[in-house]
Structure 1
């Protein structure tokens, strides 16, 4: 008897699961907002140099830049005066007395003057947050296996509340970055515990719509059994059986039943497969390399657009609604595509289209705001669909014995991409088109790599490494047979005597 069969005895699709899903879904609603929080907390309003203390002696005039607009980071050394030589009158200097902002709303930019030479710190703050998400994954994953899913989930929510409040009242930028890093770690812990509790408690048909929960939700039965806590596991199962109206079935279960029937699962769980196994077999090396590139390019390009709302000259609140709304049709179209066209074609073309849209932004002038916005929304929708496809595709490509390891490696590359994306935007100071060239080219590269993966449509999940090796060999034979048949039909010409 397996875990799934025991859950069937106590009710795998009863009131408990529906309540579980409801409690899982509600707390997660606000988590995603943290990833894009800096769009609103770090907007850069129109600004110019604050006049020097003696500016009241005469009218204050700002120097003009090459575009004919007032300079944001320079001011005249002297007030314009006809009695001064032209070269002296035109001398400029940095904003030594701070800046004046054309906004009544405080952001971290206006709070700590993250403009001009300090504008790189704004992008660095977002990268620090993403670094927290990267670090939080392996740290909380290890803690979850050692102490249980529910305690780590509860602690992650408490940590998020404390670090989020700390970031809101930070007295300086370094302190703000520390709290944002902790926020990232907390969100990673919540996401990880979400996935594990989701997979280990909820049946397959409901996993796509459940997220995370605390408080009432019990600890994972699988973790309790594999940790040797059979008595607590039995009580939890009996409570679920009672809730689902199968109290008698729950009473029939004993600790001996759990130990005997799940002995095979317990033994197999003790066999450890590590990171090296992903590179030991040639087909797994190819899968790991191509998937890592696809995950990296998706996260890299996604946050280049998602965090660049301010660049399109449209109201950031309206544009953010559009950016969020495009996910609905994008995910729906992606579901249809992966169901009928296949995972490989869908994944490849989504990244190619996103890369093309980002590169197209280079050739559209900043005055054409509507067209630029349309391209950005289209690209963001493709990348959102790419994320949806990757989660399914990755879980189907890796065998069961390495699935969690493969998913972990893939997610790390997505986090690395999202962490580097804000830093790449700094290259725009050299030439405005450089960031889009980097983002777009990377997306094209990731899309091309997807075409080297195996197609998983209508195929059973591989359980072992041998399964995926056999699958690869069958795919090679299928491709070779038409070529051999075509070659056999070729009649060689005979030379005349």
Structure 2
């Protein structure tokens, strides 16, 4: 709690901290729309094959009004397994005799069909134009939509490789990081700036180099050697934490990004659902904060990840006709995603030592983006079953809910400043368990 003593001198939550939070919110607000953008720019509208008798402007049957559009559609496009016009095939020849069958096909030979050789006709009531309609990324080419999302998310994967180094030069820099990396003078300057912005008087007298060195003496002694990336995996306890945190981020990213970037596939109004899921982020974040402080970090993550898996499976199982139920389930799924991400992020920051936190978050960020990059590839499986990708997202969410239980609880615990703090915590807990076991044995 050494650095916490210094924070008490500058003000725990004043104007300085509020401005930092506001700045981070602005940064996130500029990034998040890029992730959800393809729900609109790459939306896949309803479509069918272009057919001569229906879509040729010179077709005499349409001009004369002898046959309705439904009749022409019936003789031109076969029905799929859901008794709806097939999106990817058409009859080789118009099946005029279908007009006289009154819906009975049992004694009729299956007519020949072919792919959409002349292109597609798109339903444009919601989207006038998307990348899908521009380049006909449907049917056999629909996989290219997932490939484009995969490439975009691979670009995100590159970020964490640079983020750790860039964050070490970000201004204003973390005073804690400056002090424990043998830059106490700069750390003292940042503390005085924060105290001044928070209206703390006499900060020059109360915050001195002697105070900083005395308060954080132990941390400064253990920070003589600047930790490297390999130090994340050198000691057993920290190595275990990094591995489990990467696993948490990976299993969380798959359902989270799978839902966020494929919202349009849930057969609801994508504009309304995007607004509702975004609005749900605010109460979800407050709910996560409340539970994190009440029942702890591990149980909160377990609870929200479990609910996320349940809501994903319930959403994909709900009948398409029950639009209100689907909307409620989609909104609850989005709320749980924001709660899970908030809980995971907080827990990870509290488990990683200050001196190597930027590099550790870079490593866990890689795990996050690997999981995110895989989500569009799972959506390719929708050609076999529309529900299959969503079932996979739900299963990953169920798997992810158990991993935080293997990590230490950090509620009301001091933040580790050095790698040695993490190892000492492990040794202390092990010693306490051994002593407890001895007491239990000797009490009988």
- TM-score w.r.t. structure 2 length? 0.76
Aligned to 1:107: 130
Q: 1:200 aligns with which of 166, 170, 174?
A: 174
Aligned match of 2:143 = 120
3-state SS, counterpart of residue 65 of structure 1: coil
Deviation at 1:25, TM superposition (A): 4.8
Deviations 1:316-346 (A, max 9, x none): 1111111112212211111111112111111
Q: How does 1:311-390 map to 2 (within 5 A)?
A: 311-361=265-315, 363-390=317-344
* Equivalence map 1:72-471=2 (5 Å): 72-81=87-96, 90-103=111-124, 105-139=128-162, 141-142=164-165, 148-149=169-170, 197=172, 200=174, 271-361=225-315, 363-471=317-425
Aligned partners of 2:164 and 2:358 also within 8 Å: no
Report SS of the residue matched to 1:30: helix
Q: Quick check: 2:232–2:239 contact (8 Å CA) kept in 1?
A: yes
Higher relative contact order (CA closer than 8 Å, sequence separation 6+): 2
Residues 45 and 101 in structure 1, CA contact (< 8 A), matched pair in contact too: yes
Give the 3-state SS of the residue equivalent to 1:476 in structure 2: helix
Measured in 2, the distance between the counterparts of 1:34 and 1:324 equals 14
- For 1:269 and 1:489, the matched residues in 2 are separated by 43
1:275 CA drift (Å): 3.3
What is the aligned length?
414
Maintained 8 Å contact 1:394/1:406: no
Matches of 1:291 and 1:482 in 2, distance apart?
Answer: 29
1:45 matched residue in structure 2 = 45
Please list the CA deviations of residues 205-247 of structure 1 after superposition, one character each: whole Å capped at 9, or x if unmatched: xxxxxxxxxxxxxxx999xx97x9x9xx99x999999989999
Please state how far the C-alpha of 1:266 moved relative to its aligned partner: 10
Could you tell me whether the CA contact under 8 Å between 1:361 and 1:375 is conserved in 2? yes
- Please report how far the alpha carbon of residue 354 of structure 1 lies from its aligned counterpart in structure 2 after TM superposition: 1.4
Label 1:17 to 1:299 Cα distance change in 2 as closer, same or farther (>3 A): closer
Q: Tell me, which stretches of 5 or more residues in structure 1 are unaligned?
A: 151-196, 204-219, 491-497
CA shift, 1:143, in A, is 5.4
User: Is the CA contact 2:49–2:88 (under 8 Å) kept in the aligned structure 1?
Assistant: yes
CA distance change for structure 1 residues 345 and 476 in 2, over 3 Å: closer, same or farther? farther
Unaligned runs of 5+ residues in structure 2 are 62-71, 99-106
Cα pair distance change 1:445/1:76, threshold 3 Å? same
**Structure 1 residues 473 and 130, CA gap change in structure 2 (3 angstroms):** same
Q: Following TM superposition, by how much is the alpha carbon of 1:367 offset from its aligned partner in structure 2, in angstroms?
A: 3.5
The offset of 1:270, in angstroms, is 7.5
1:194 is aligned to none
Cα distance, 1:4 vs structure 2:
11
Distance 1:356 1:475, change over 3 A: farther
Does the Cα contact within 8 Å between 2:223 and 2:418 map onto a contact in 1? Answer: no
- Aligned residue in 2 for 1:186: none
Q: Name the counterpart of 2:31.
A: 31
Tell me the C-alpha RMSD between the 2 structures: 4.4
* Stretch moving more, 334-343 or 132-141: 132-141
Structure 1 residues 342, 133: closer, same or farther in 2, change over 3 A?
same
Q: Distance in 2 between matches of 1:266 and 1:466?
A: 12
Q: Return the offset for 1:375.
A: 3.2
Deviation at 1:476, TM superposition (A): 3.1
